[in-house]
Amino acid sequence: MRIAIILARSGSKRIKLKNIKKFIDEPIIVKTIKNLKKMKMFNKIYVSTESKKITKVFDHIKDINIIKRPNNLSDDFTGTRDVMVHAIKEISKEFKLEEICCVYATSIFFKKKNLIEAK
pLDDT at 118 over 90: no
Is-contact 51 9, C-beta < 8 A?
A: yes
d(CA 89, CA 108): 26
pLDDT at 39 over 90: yes
pLDDT of residue 116: 87
Burial 25-44 (b: 16+ CB within 10 A, else e): eebbbbbbbebbbeeeebeb
Identify the three-state secondary structure at position 10: coil
Question: Nearest 5°: phi and psi at 62?
Answer: -70, 155
pLDDT at 12 over 80: no
pLDDT of residue 41: 94
